[in-house]
Structure 1
Amino acid sequence: MRLWWQDPFRMFQTNLREIDAGLDVEKVLDYLEEFGADTWLLSVGGILSNYPTDLDFQTRNPHLAERPSGDLVGDAVKAAARRGIRVMGRMDFSKIDHRRAEAHPDWCFVGPHGARQVYNGLTSVCPSGDYYQVKLFEVLDEVLDRYPLDGFFCNWMSFNEVDYSRVDHGVCHCVSCQERYDGPLPDGRNSPGYEEWRLFSKTVLADLTQRIRDHLAARRPEAPLVLGDQADIVFHEANNAVGRPLWHHRTSEAVSAAKTYRPTVPVLTNSVGFVDMPYRMASEDPQHFAQYLLQAIARGANPSTYIMGTPSDNPYACLQVAGDLTRFHRDHQEVYRDLVPAAEAVLVRPKEGSLPEFQGLYLSLLQRHVPFDVLPQERLHDVDLGRYRMVVLPDLGPVDLGSYAGGIVATGATEVARLPVRRLAGYETEEDTRSLHLEGGVPVFGAFQVVEPPTDAATGLRALSRAPYGPPEKCHGHAQLEHPGVVRLGNTVLFPWTIGRSYREVGLGVHRDLFVDEVITAGGTSMETDLPEQIEIVLGRSAAGTVVHLLNRSGDTDQRFAPPVPVGPARLRLPDGVREVEALRSREHLPVTDGWVQLPEIGLFEVLIWV
């Protein structure tokens, strides 16, 4: 049986303050219907219960007294059912009040030096303890006994190393953690054994997630769990943060990583309407917010908009464009049904480190119109790579691709069995590579590996010895060396240096083009078009046919998104046999002539579909 959340849906989250318990349910539902949402994520229980809980370890919201019924959840569920709108419950078990923290110290987070984590009068609890391991299920049972909720989301289910103010409290040393953990607990991220503890913490959370899923499946199988990448619905929060460098493709990357790993599992992108947690009353810029939803739906995620309070209390400036895009998704439900990735190239995302290398290769593929998916390195052996013609490996170290026979382009210190090289030396620092050039005046930034290739491999881009770079009178003496900057063996290519980082940090087109040319030669596919590099092409396949999103990234600029400049008209070559294309945004049927389609002008985005 196909469950409701396996079809496209659109969510709106009202993250309620305690003073919002008296909200006008019908007024909120009026707004949601006009907005295009069909699912309401409502604050239900945990820190505060917006229903008359009878559990002695839960706190009834005192503002429920403002409601004649005394029950916000009950009122919302009944009213939403009359309109065919689903209600999902937001639960937050991350904190308890002072009284219960005193009564149950074994539930609480304890820092390495014995301190609890207290924030605005609430004490953080630990997932190892019985509040999560036992009491959470009692809350779910009470809610399910009373209300036919359509799903659950558990907020901030983590070990809470860092609080709202970004203060690092270290690793939890509570009694339960000490009993569960095999060995001495580390103090924090700079302590010996921290990586082993991280694995332990992930295991605890994965086990808890699975138990919640199993519990809901037994009680109410039509109510999914929204959480990490092992839940019924994968959750991604698209947000901004003060002080964090903007990666313009964060949402697209996250959704692609989830859909590449498990294409048929729904993803929910909950897009934050405010700028940052300390600035919850400040609206996100509309152009920025639009990218959250656009990147989400292009990669196959369900769009969700998240605000504080109610729309009438907090009419964020970004809500108008959010509604436009949500209604677009609603009006093309069949196009987004079962939308899965259809790219022929996959870019592996490193577990940690090497992010500039990954991001530089990401931008290179995007700008040269090579459609690609993102695959987390830790999921490399969970995916059938045979569905891809090309795998890109950014500075990953040793990698086992098993029997994969398609093209490979690797960079940096990546090692693959199909291209065995002997590594003679490594230049890893800025000082090591300063003034290092390859043939043709190609500069090297980041790191360079001196390798001895197999005798049957082809090589190129040989290094030039370093020479003085100042004063000008002394700038000479670069001598030709035998150290290759590229090694090719069949359809496997190695750039033994950080060509992606070079492009990400300096932006020279020569780095991008050297890399992408090798990708195409080794089996990657570039879309033939005269569209400029500012148009991102996302290739997917759904129940309606082939779906191509054309995203106008001309507004990507320093730490923000500006209004994009309209692009076009332009042409795009299509596969043989396609006779007509439907452009959903412009509402045009476009004929195909000699394999080419003439595209309409592209504003924020366009969506093409053909069978």
Structure 2
Amino acid sequence: MMRFHRDHSLLYDGLAPCAVTGLVRPVRGEAGRERHDEVVSEFRGLFAALQERHVPFDVVPAEAITAMAGAGLDRYRLLVVPDAGPLDTDTARALDAWVAGGGRLLATGATAIGADGQVQLDCLPGERATAELAGPDALRSTFVAAGPRSEDADVPIGVRAPVVPLHGRRHEMTWRRDAEPHLAVLGRAPFGPPELAYGNAPTGEPGYAVRRTGAGVAAQIPWSVGRAYRELGVTALRDLAVGVAVDLLDGAERLSADLPEQVELTVGRSGAATVVHLLNQTGVRRAGMLAPVTVHGGVLRIRNTHRPLLVRALVAGMECRVRTEVDGTATIAVPPIRRFEVLEVWELPAQP
């Protein structure tokens, strides 16, 4: 990999990130040890979720948001803020202004909830946290689901997928009047004989809510969905969080991939070229590395491409096959990925 970097120094000298999604990294050492570990777990869970679903993103330091206000933040369509807790006044002001100007914000856990329970961001759908439920005893046998399977009284009680466990911390919220609720929190099932205990019933609380403010949109998941995914490994938790993020992006991310979850995707710009890095992590273990399994049959798609594309696979040393559909979506056949692959994508002049 270092030899590859040496041999393509011109490509890397001008390489800059260009993802339209930013994942905010928590401030180090700001909270106590236990709380800090929870926040880091939330961040790492959402990091893994976006990575495994191949949503390109940059890591944005929380302490840099104020300095990035304006042009620095405007290049992002979506910011994901994981369980950040109380925000300082300047950071809250910068995020509110960015959303009002057209940004999309996803806040999870206790993000922007002050010590008094008041929500510090005017753009968020939550107005105030009225209670905090934390730990296995408080959240045991509670879930988030899509809602009742049927309103018909003759149909057995049930809920629609997804059904995901609550884990870590959850805040009960007072929501603003214009908040749009989604999903439903299911309370603990009553203990008793089967003829009296009918399972988990909705509490009336949404799993998350969305609010439109100014030209932008903000979503709030008032529980630690990233930490739950990292510590439980339930992929439905990952898919729920990433689904909310993709809905907020609303098609702003042009690049998508059909690749195994073990392939990490990052995207950047070098001059006029888009540079896509594909890192094969099939050999990654908790400690150490094994030889990776070669990944075959990968596909990249770039939407809204109405000019011919030239795509070079720099590791394989070949030109990739590109097929452009009538809707402007370019489908790129990725060569076998052994350890890693780097694709250089050029838009060619339109043909007369």
Same fold at TM > 0.5: yes
Change (3 A) 1:553 1:597: same
The C-alpha deviation readout for 1:208-265, integer Å capped at 9, x for no partner, is xxxxxxxxxxxxxxxxxxxxxxxxxxxxxxxxxxxxxxxxxxxxxxxxxxxxxxxxxx
Q: Does 1:610 align with 2:345?
A: yes
Q: Does 1:563 align with 2:291?
A: yes
Q: Do the aligned partners of 1:411 and 1:498 also contact (CA within 8 Å) in 2?
A: yes
Q: Do the aligned partners of 1:502 and 1:511 also contact (CA within 8 Å) in 2?
A: yes
Q: Do the aligned partners of 1:520 and 1:526 also contact (CA within 8 Å) in 2?
A: no
Structure 2: distance between partners of 1:426 and 1:389: 30
Q: Do the aligned partners of 1:368 and 1:533 also contact (CA within 8 Å) in 2?
A: yes
Structure 2: distance between partners of 1:357 and 1:456: 28
1:341 corresponds to which residue? 17
Q: Does 1:454 align with 2:176?
A: yes
Change (3 A) 1:373 1:470: farther
| Among candidates 332, 339, 350, match of residue 26 of structure 2 | 350
TM alignment of 1:198-597, pairs within 5 A? 325-352=1-28, 353=36, 354-383=39-68, 384-399=72-87, 400=92, 401-405=95-99, 406-415=103-112, 416-419=121-124, 420-439=126-145, 440=161, 441-467=163-189, 476-490=198-212, 491-523=217-249, 525=253, 527-543=255-271, 545-575=273-303, 576=305, 577-594=307-324, 595-597=330-332
Change (3 A) 1:526 1:503: farther
SS at match of 2:320: strand
Change (3 A) 1:335 1:486: same
Q: Please state how far the C-alpha of 1:458 moved relative to its aligned partner.
A: 0.9
Q: Do the aligned partners of 1:412 and 1:447 also contact (CA within 8 Å) in 2?
A: yes
Change (3 A) 1:341 1:326: same
Change (3 A) 1:589 1:381: same
Structure 2: distance between partners of 1:540 and 1:338: 10
Change (3 A) 1:474 1:335: farther
Q: Please state how far the C-alpha of 1:479 moved relative to its aligned partner.
A: 2.3
Q: Please state how far the C-alpha of 1:475 moved relative to its aligned partner.
A: 6.8
Q: Please state how far the C-alpha of 1:454 moved relative to its aligned partner.
A: 1.1
SS at match of 2:236: helix
The C-alpha deviation readout for 1:318-349, integer Å capped at 9, x for no partner, is xxxxxxx2221111111111211111100001
Change (3 A) 1:599 1:542: same
Q: What is the TM-score of this pair, normalised by structure 2?
A: 0.77
Q: Please state how far the C-alpha of 1:484 moved relative to its aligned partner.
A: 1.4
Change (3 A) 1:334 1:483: same
Structure 1, unmatched stretches of 5+, are 1-324
Change (3 A) 1:447 1:471: farther
- Specify which structure has the higher proportion of helix: 1
SS at match of 1:536: strand
The C-alpha deviation readout for 1:268-287, integer Å capped at 9, x for no partner, is xxxxxxxxxxxxxxxxxxxx
Q: Do the aligned partners of 2:262 and 2:281 also contact (CA within 8 Å) in 1?
A: yes
Change (3 A) 1:499 1:578: farther
1:173 corresponds to which residue? none
Change (3 A) 1:526 1:393: farther
Structure 2: distance between partners of 1:504 and 1:526: 27
1:423 maps to amino acid: A
SS at match of 1:396: coil
Structure 2: distance between partners of 1:360 and 1:498: 9
Q: Which has the larger radius of gyration?
A: 1
Q: Do the aligned partners of 2:24 and 2:62 also contact (CA within 8 Å) in 1?
A: yes
**Runs of 4 or more above 4 Å deviation:** 468-477
Q: Please state how far the C-alpha of 1:558 moved relative to its aligned partner.
A: 2.5
* Aligned CA-pair RMSD: 2.1
Q: Do the aligned partners of 2:96 and 2:123 also contact (CA within 8 Å) in 1?
A: no
Q: Please state how far the C-alpha of 1:453 moved relative to its aligned partner.
A: 1.2
Q: Please state how far the C-alpha of 1:367 moved relative to its aligned partner.
A: 0.7
Structure 2: distance between partners of 1:421 and 1:392: 19
- What percent identity do the matched residue pairs reach? 39
TM alignment of 1:111-190, pairs within 5 A? none
Change (3 A) 1:499 1:526: farther
Q: Do the aligned partners of 1:552 and 1:564 also contact (CA within 8 Å) in 2?
A: yes
Change (3 A) 1:512 1:505: same
Structure 2: distance between partners of 1:526 and 1:363: 20
SS at match of 2:256: coil
Q: Please state how far the C-alpha of 1:473 moved relative to its aligned partner.
A: 9.6
1:586 maps to amino acid: A
Q: What is the TM-score of this pair, normalised by structure 1?
A: 0.45
The C-alpha deviation readout for 1:426-460, integer Å capped at 9, x for no partner, is 10222211111122432100001001211111112
Structure 2, unmatched stretches of 5+, are 29-35, 113-120, 146-160, 325-329, 347-352
Higher relative contact order, structure no. (Cα contacts within 8 Å, ≥ 6 residues apart): 2
Structure 2: distance between partners of 1:464 and 1:330: 55
Structure 2: distance between partners of 1:590 and 1:470: 62
Change (3 A) 1:411 1:526: farther
Q: Please state how far the C-alpha of 1:469 moved relative to its aligned partner.
A: 7.4
1:608 maps to amino acid: L
Q: Please state how far the C-alpha of 1:533 moved relative to its aligned partner.
A: 1.4
Change (3 A) 1:355 1:601: same
Change (3 A) 1:444 1:459: same
